Amino acid sequence: MTIVALLLSSSFANGQYNISGKVSDDKGRPLLGASVYLENTLDGSTSDSLGHFHFSTTEKGNQTIVVSAIGYATAGKPIEVNANISNLEFKLKSTAHDLESVTVTAGSFEASNERDKTVLKPLDIVTTAGANADIVKAIQTLPGTQQQGTQTGLFVRGGDASEAAMVVDELIAQSAFFTTAPGVAARSRFSPFQFKGIAFSSGGYSARYGQALSSVLELNSLDLPDKSNVNLGINMAGVYASGAKLYKTSAIEATGYYNNLQPFYGIASTNFDFYNVPKGGGGSAKYTYKPNKDGILKVLVNYAHFESGTIVPSPFVVGENLNFGIKNDNAYSTISYRQQFKNKWSFYTAASYSFNQDDVNYGAYTSLGKDDRAQFRAEAKWFAASKLSFLAGGELQNFNYSKKFDTAKWSTKNSFTETQAAGYIEADWSPIYWFAIKPGIRYEHSAMLNQTDLGPRLAMALRAGTHGQFSLASGLFYQIPDISYLLYDNKGLQMQQSTHYIANYQWMKGDRTIRVEAYYKDYNQLVRELLATNLPFDPNPYRTLNNTTLVNNSGHGYAKGLEFFVRDKKTIKNLDYWISYSYIDTRRLYKNYPMEATPDFISDHTLNIITKYYIDQWHTQLNVSYGYGSGRPYYNPNYDYAAHPEKFMSDRTPDYQNLSLTINYLRTIHKWFSVIYFGVDNITNQHNVFGYRYSTDGSTRYASVPALYRSVFVGVNFSLTEFNKDEL
Amino acid sequence: MKRYILLTAAIALLIVNVQAQNFKETLQKTFVTFDTSFNMQTKIEQSNKLSMIAKKWNTEWVTHYYASYGKVILSYNERDEAKRDAYLDEAEKEKDEAVSILTKENDETYVLNAMIANARMAVNPMNRWQKYGKIFTDNLDKAKAANPDNPRIYYIQGTSKFYTPKAFGGGKKAAMPYFEKANGLFAKESDADITKPSWGKTANTYFFEQCKIED
């Protein structure tokens, strides 16, 4: 029997060898959990906390030993098994940097549901205190923007509102804001709930877009809804209802709303009186169809009517009030189709038509403004390789503006028609994981100005460490003169120009982001009014131009600045905050400015602190925002400008400050998911001043103030998602 | 001497047998060790072994299925976000392999898709719930269409409800009927054949009991 035992053990000893060694990472640190085995066998083991592994095998001869670990490139080498093997050493290379590719971030903030690595999410925008679910108001908490209270629009890096384009599904939104009385800031027409992605570019944007000297705000509408749903809401500004019915490959959605600001203005002490409180309503319908996995068709129609009558300080005669009445009708429809083929090709085509009408009475004068726009876009993207793609496309725009004054004084109609064609091509190439480059060029032709331009664009990104990266963006941008000039006389006018140079550093790790961005922007060919005498200066932004006003493109200017952005969702549990600070130095000679000056919408220093705190136990979200803007320039006629030209626009208003709060309480009542929200804007009732206007003799001045200081807003939203009855 | 020859022959036969052994036993043993262990190191070891089994018997869909399952579970247990995603990349590769052997998805691979989506979401819930929430429900719906009696569908749905905050329609009360339904279906399921997945029973019972305890 002993012989048998011996025979047995020797038989095994002869057929079995021990293999051992160590696995470490590229920095020589021991690697835990690596799988080490002989290929196509079950002989292997896993490395321990010291990186050691050992196993025995009955295999003999030439074998391949394989080492693999999550986050590291798999290593292998041939070995000959005919004795015990020890002290095998493996060094695995980290693939961490391959997991994230470098992306260009200079000049752009992206909020997307589809990508992980974005600074903001569409939901973050909805919940920003003081923004009242207005996309543009929320965007104004990001660096590069100006605080607003009396003017409508987005003011980006020294540019005025006309220089920022709003784009929905790659189509220009012609009337992106509601029309209001002079001196009353209007909100944008879009609800943040309509969009899956929002990208805000404060400069250096892609060749896909043009006709915006400073900024593009890009909105991408939602695809098929997740489930059929019904959404109902009531708040101090009105009531609304929406519903979506989801079929197998398509969906129909509809919304309807009626707004009346009586309850809202009723309890607030407004700075203006209303003889016709803002009211109106509208609706939309949307059809979405997915013919296949990678294609989507969207058809949308939208209509809204609003009217208001406001007693506002007259922009024409300082110190007097004026009845300003407006009836606005706005309709737009879009159709778009996107199709992707095997991750190789992506095609997109879209068309839209929009119509807007403003029926206005300025005291005793009436005017009727009409504009419409038809546009078409088609583009293709070719994913030539995993890190190389090409985009090429073209767009056509046709728009008409007319303004008819039906009074004894001006019985005139002014109008213009413009047709624009554009083509663009852009490459996106990342030859190596730490570098990406995006060159592009855009061709633009204006029929009205009979002018053709080429706008080159260039952006690149360079990885700096695991979490950091540098980006650069630059480009040449064109825009037709402001509508107010084109309506009267456009003979000889040309495109206005701006050149952007942007550099940024971004560090992003998990839920923490830090960004620093510096830029320089050069303005050329700005439109100037050639007045016989431009002093005394007329600071009225609503001043009426006429056919005798001579204009040319001799204006110019610059903007430069430094911006910081910090976001942190991690340090304190349930607390999410961001801080943005912008410094700007800008001067320009344009419009009726007698000399170069900082425009009246510029605060040199702007600060926003946005906080959101979720209290689990109470299902309550507490959002607090603080906004600050240093004093803004205004025109004081009491200086002797002949002797002291540098005094022009040198006076500054007091600083702007705003503290606001919203509380969202979430709960499910039966099957209804409910959000009850309560908000206070300008809690401290700060009397913010956005400028001053002087009486003709210069003896009395009147402050430009917002429609409201402190305001309270309350509402509730109920949503019901289809409960699948056969779920159980 | 004759005895020795016989013995040697028997041993030789034994070795041949070990090598020709059906993969089922190895798979069964490895998977059970993986599934019942709470020790991270053991789990990683056994998951590595599941991957090796999938390589060795790479024409059996079920070996890839378990290799994928192993990586999903490891992803849940990992803290590093990049690694969690890397595990899921592996899980997806193995799942794709299983599907290509099957030539089309079955109820178990749909459940696996849902699990992968759920694990992707768990890496970064605030940013990912919208995208992966839909993939999760879509795949469970497809699994249900393929085989409404698969208990893992309801078990997975239950755990998702269990971890969803009450304010968003989740919580123990909402989750309980799912575990209850799964319990009934698990009782009818046999665990005799490893090539017919049957995991989840113990965990389902645990969650079901948890749901009975008031908050």
Cα three-residue angle A444-A446-A449, rounded to 5 degrees: 135
What are the structure tokens assigned to A631, written together? 């004093």
Best interface-test mutation with B: which of A118, A223, A727 has the largest number of B CBs within 10 A? A727
B131 touches chain A (CB under 8 A): yes
DSSP run (H or E) holding A139: helix A135-139
A26 touches chain B (CB under 8 A): no
Q: What is the distance, to the nearest Å, from the Cα of residue B9 to the centroid of all Cα atoms in its chain?
A: 41
Residue B19 has pLDDT above 60, yes or no: no
User: CB neighbours of B25 closer than 8 A, spacing ≥ 6?
Assistant: none
Contact A70 B83 (CB under 8 A): yes
Chain A / chain B CB contacts < 8 angstroms: 96
Question: What does the pLDDT read at residue A607?
Answer: 97
Measured distance CA(A352)–CA(B189) in Å, rounded: 57
A620 touches chain B (CB under 8 A): no
Count of positions (residues) in chain B? 215
Chain A residue with minimum CA distance to B27:
A42
3-state percent breakdown (helix, strand, coil) of chain A, nearest 5 = 5, 55, 35
What's at A255, amino acid-wise?
T
Least confident of A4-8, A362-366, B149-153, B211-215: A4-8
Mean pLDDT of B144-168: 91
Measured distance CA(A387)–CA(A369) in Å, rounded: 49
Chain A residue with minimum CA distance to B133:
A226
Is the separation of the CB atoms in A307 and A279 below 8 Å? yes
Alpha helices in chain B (DSSP H): 2-20, 23-36, 40-56, 61-77, 81-102, 107-123, 125-146, 151-163, 172-187, 201-212
Residues of A in contact with B85 (CB under 8 A): 99
What are the structure tokens assigned to A212, written together? 């915006």
Q: How many helices (DSSP H) and strands (DSSP E) are in chain A?
A: 6, 38
Measured distance CA(B181)–CA(B163) in Å, rounded: 18
Question: What does the pLDDT read at residue A502?
Answer: 96
Helix (H, G, I), strand (E, B) or coil at A90: strand
Contact A8 B11 (CB under 8 A): yes
Measured distance CA(B86)–CA(B89) in Å, rounded: 5
Which among A42, A114, A226 has the least Cβ separation from residue B52?
A: A42
Which among B3, B78, B168 has the least Cβ separation from residue A668?
A: B168
Measured distance CA(A306)–CA(A329) in Å, rounded: 7
Beta-carbon neighbour count of residue A659 at 10 Å? 20
B215 touches chain A (CB under 8 A): no
A536 touches chain B (CB under 8 A): no
Contact B81 A510 (CB under 8 A): yes
Mean pLDDT of B85-96: 94
A697 touches chain B (CB under 8 A): no
Q: What is the CA radius of gyration of chain B?
A: 20
Residues of B in contact with A42 (CB under 8 A): 26, 49, 52-53, 56
Contact B44 A7 (CB under 8 A): no
Contact A70 B90 (CB under 8 A): yes
A569 touches chain B (CB under 8 A): yes
Q: Of the candidates A107, A211, A229, A118, which has an alpha carbon nearest to the alpha carbon of residue A167? A: A211
B45 touches chain A (CB under 8 A): yes
Contact B49 A42 (CB under 8 A): yes
Measured distance CA(A197)–CA(A110) in Å, rounded: 7
Residues of B in contact with A41 (CB under 8 A): 52, 56
* Integer CA distances (angstroms), A134 to A178, A328, A675, in order: 12, 19, 17
Write down the residue that tokens 């495109």 correspond to. A495
Contact A44 B49 (CB under 8 A): yes
Kindly report each contact of residues A439-446 with a partner whose C-beta sits within 8 Å and lies 24 or more positions away, as own/partner: A440/A206, A440/A207, A440/A391, A441/A207, A442/A207, A442/A210, A444/A210, A444/A211, A444/A420, A444/A478, A444/A495, A445/A420, A445/A421, A446/A418, A446/A419, A446/A420, A446/A480, A446/A495
Residues of B in contact with A116 (CB under 8 A): 124, 127-128
Question: What does the pLDDT read at residue A10?
Answer: 40
Measured distance CA(A398)–CA(A377) in Å, rounded: 12
* Integer CA distances (angstroms), A590 to A211, A500, A501, A524, A650, in order: 18, 19, 21, 10, 16
Contact A46 B133 (CB under 8 A): no
Which one-letter DSSP state was computed for residue A481?
A: P
Beta-carbon neighbour count of residue A540 at 10 Å? 15
Chain A residue with minimum CA distance to B181:
A728
Question: What does the pLDDT read at residue A419?
Answer: 97
Contact A728 B55 (CB under 8 A): no
- Sheet containing strand A215-221, strands side by side: A108-112, A195-201, A215-221, A164-168, A171-172
Residues of B in contact with A619 (CB under 8 A): 165-167
Measured distance CA(A674)–CA(A664) in Å, rounded: 10
Residues of A in contact with B165 (CB under 8 A): 616, 619
In chain A (728 residues long), the average pLDDT of successive 10-residue segments reads 42 72 90 90 90 91 90 89 90 71 78 66 77 86 90 93 94 90 86 84 94 94 88 91 92 95 85 91 96 94 94 84 93 96 93 96 87 97 92 97 73 84 96 90 96 96 88 96 83 92 90 93 94 78 77 95 93 91 96 93 96 89 95 93 90 96 88 89 94 88 90 90 60
* Integer CA distances (angstroms), A620 to A577, A664, A668, in order: 16, 6, 13
B133 touches chain A (CB under 8 A): yes
Residues of B in contact with A45 (CB under 8 A): 45
Contact A728 B8 (CB under 8 A): no
Best interface-test mutation with A: which of B18, B52, B92 has the largest number of A CBs within 10 A? B52
Which among A3, A7, A71 has the least Cβ separation from residue B86?
A: A71
A226 touches chain B (CB under 8 A): yes
Q: Of the candidates A466, A465, A456, A555, which has an alpha carbon nearest to the alpha carbon of residue A500? A: A456
pTM, rounded to two decimals: 0.82
Reported in sequence order, the residue ranges of A600-710 that DSSP labels E, i.e. its strands, are 605-615, 620-629, 633-634, 651-652, 656-669, 672-681, 691-694, 701-704
A431 touches chain B (CB under 8 A): no
Count of positions (residues) in chain A? 728
Measured distance CA(B141)–CA(B198) in Å, rounded: 19
Contact B41 A48 (CB under 8 A): yes
What are the structure tokens assigned to A507, written together? 């560090």
Which among B86, B167, B181 has the least Cβ separation from residue A70?
A: B86
Best interface-test mutation with A: which of B71, B127, B136 has the largest number of A CBs within 10 A? B127
A2 touches chain B (CB under 8 A): no
Measured distance CA(A640)–CA(B200) in Å, rounded: 86
What's at B98, amino acid-wise?
A
Measured distance CA(A345)–CA(A390) in Å, rounded: 10
A95 touches chain B (CB under 8 A): yes
What does the pLDDT look like over B160-206, one tens digit per residue?
999 888 877 888 998 999 999 999 999 999 888 888 999 999 999 99
